[in-house]
Amino acid sequence: MLSFSLHSVKDTLAPAYRMEKVKRGEYDIFKQQLSLFIDGLNNNETEEHNKNNIIYLLKSAWYGSRFAINTKNSNDLVIHSDAGSGSPIGVLFEVKSPANKVEMINVEQPNSKALWQLLLYYLRARIDNKENNIRHLIVTNAWQWFLFDATWWDTHVHQNKLLRKQYEDYKQSGNNTSYFFESIAQPFWGSLKIQMPCTQIDFTQYKKWIDTNDTDTLVNIYKILSPVHLLKQPFANDSNSLDTGFFYELLYILGLEEKKEKGKKIITRRQAPQPASLVENIISKLESKNSLSKIANLTEYGTNREEQLWGVAMELCVTWLNRILFIKLLEGQLMGYHPNKPEYMFMNVDFLHTFNDLNQLFFDILAQPVKKRSQLQEKYKHVPYLNSSLFERTALEQQTFEIESIDSNLLLPLLPNTVLKDPLGKRRVGKTFLLPYLLRFLDAYDFSSVSNELIQVENKNLINASVLGLIFEKINGYKDGSFFTPGSVTMYMCSESIRKAIIQKFNTVKGWNCVHFKDLVNKMRDIEMAEANAIVNSLRICDPAVGSGHFLVSALNEIIAIKSELRILTDRQGDWIKDCNIIVANDALP
């Protein structure tokens, strides 16, 4: 007989989404609407009244006008994949009145009328209406919610040939739904000797969560009923997604724009250039300093003066931008490890007043060991030394100039749809100086992806290393257009190739005949941990087209996960790290 395999709300969430911070404003709205929903529940109200309450909760707390939520045909309730009522069904509901305890499913007795009805709705949607986009199914009486992933239903219901034949025969027979419930649905569920994965939410516990300030539980409930989970939508920290607002305003500040040319997207100079933008500023300095005459390999940048000015300006722009974004990401990581300590924030207008200050940060701070920083050390005492070629002067900088030469006194009009807000929370207008604009723009986003905080104090979009990698690729490949390999692709490529390579390594060194990775896991008892690590570490990976380093980071993540799975992961002293299970999710180590 069918039984439920219960999973906690937290464990049901994808690991990468579980780590995602919720914006404070969205979380507060969710809590307010959930509280109103709980207060308005009445066990004596009808099922229809219950549906209306659920629709209002879902729309007000999560879905708004972006997704249609309503009854559809004979279905109790559905969430569509977008705002159109004719769009594919994403979530299928069976709704019961709180008073109807006989028909409602429960953990001890899943084979109940609510599940029979959900089965009928599902078969009608999948077979009759060709709804192939269903992501989740839900049974609820408002107090109790039972969530089922549609993947299980596709395997065990939709692909069950006997059940499908019975359903087709039932449609032809003219029998009523009672016949389907008693002669098909009830026996079908009763015959299944497997477990159905299920996530239960019990809103009768709501008062306890509020009284104990159980933020962890409330945040996870917010996430599990969100479009990201129920509709399996991408989320802010998704390594496959580009934050377009961030990208296009960044291009504006640089003096660039993206356009389509011959079927590919390239980065080019803005048609209506702003003199205060970074690229225009660079071009102006190149001309006033006659810098092109000092470049030995000038023809590599173009065949005429205009092309050469553009090429040199873009190389300098890309060099400086790579440093700036890397530093901003570093600052975000430091703030993640040291929350509520503003002394670790140094990429802001309080520290950097001019481009000369930024130049000092590049070469006199980040490129210098702490003991060599002289009088600047006190100001930047929380900034680490980075032994990186990124903060070495490039050949082009040595032949032209460094970022300190950029004019800090030119005013740049704010982008009409800028992310910047005034103290009243309204979109800022007017003009501002280039460096403060750039720094305040970056501060309007959250780079601290390593934080353990569940809620973002400020409503800032998250910009993580994967999203920056995508932007690096697009801007660095400005000439010919670039194709950023999505995280899901690099993750799959690394998993498939590296695991096979490691199996081959062990077979060659140890004379084993492992075929599958699980065979290798079982052989780990026959080898010393140090030797096993040496074999894995002997693997060499080359990415000849390296851009942002995205693929190599994916490869490193996969190797760490492999060592964890083989139970040979050690710390720098060689001691076994045994109390963790590391996996790769969303192309990252969550």
- H/E run at residue 94: strand 89-95
CA triple 535-540-544, angle to 5 deg: 170
**DSSP character for 362?**
I
**Paired tokens of 239:** 């390594």
**Is the residue at 575 inside a domain?**
no
Residues 431, 493 within the same domain: no
**Paired tokens of 149:** 């992933």
Q: Of 476, 503, 519, which residue sits at a domain end?
A: 476
Residues 469, 523 within the same domain: no
Which residue from 494, 513, 492 is spatially nearest to 504, judged by alpha carbons? Answer: 513
**Is the residue at 131 inside a domain?**
yes
pLDDT band at 237 (very low <50, low <70, confident <90, very high): low
Range of the domain at 492: 487-566
pLDDT at residue 412 greater than cutoff 60: yes
Calculate the alpha carbon distances from 127 to 121, 237, 352, 436 in Å. Answer: 10, 35, 63, 58
d(CA 517, CA 504) in angstroms, rounded, equals: 10
Q: What is the pLDDT of residues 9-18, one digit of tens each?
A: 999 998 878 8
Instruction: State pTM to two decimals.
Output: 0.69
Q: Write down the pLDDT at residue 228.
A: 93
Residues 70, 209 within the same domain: yes
**Is the residue at 301 inside a domain?**
yes
Residues 465, 547 within the same domain: no
Handedness of CA 403, 409, 411, 417 (dihedral sign): positive
Residues 176, 261 within the same domain: no
**Is the residue at 154 inside a domain?**
yes
Q: Write down the pLDDT at residue 266.
A: 82
Total domains in the chain come to: 3
Residues 297, 217 within the same domain: no
**Paired tokens of 491:** 């993750």
Residues 469, 552 within the same domain: no
Residues 176, 45 within the same domain: yes
Residues 499, 471 within the same domain: no
Q: Of 435, 450, 476, which residue sits at a domain end?
A: 476
**Is the residue at 579 inside a domain?**
no
Number of other CB atoms surrounding residue 79 within 10 Å: 26
Residues 277, 360 within the same domain: yes
Between residues 583 and 253, the one the model is more confident about: 253
Residues 117, 173 within the same domain: yes
**Is the residue at 334 inside a domain?**
yes
d(CA 192, CA 119) in angstroms, rounded, equals: 14
Residues 324, 274 within the same domain: yes
Reduced to 3 states (helix: H, G, I; strand: E, B; else coil), residue 85 is coil
Helices (H), 174-304: 177-180, 186-191, 206-211, 215-224, 227-230, 244-254, 278-288
Provide, rounded to the nearest whole percent, the portion of the chain with pLDDT above 70. Answer: 94
**Is the residue at 481 inside a domain?**
no
pLDDT at residue 234 greater than cutoff 80: no
Q: Of 476, 498, 532, which residue sits at a domain end?
A: 476
Number of other CB atoms surrounding residue 112 within 10 Å: 18
Q: What is the pLDDT of residues 149-193, one digit of tens each?
A: 999 999 999 999 999 999 999 999 989 999 999 999 999 999 998
Task: Summarize the confidence of residues 128-146 as an average pLDDT.
Answer: 95
pLDDT at residue 238 greater than cutoff 60: no
**Is the residue at 523 inside a domain?**
yes
Is the CB of residue 57 less than 8 Å from the CB of residue 30? no
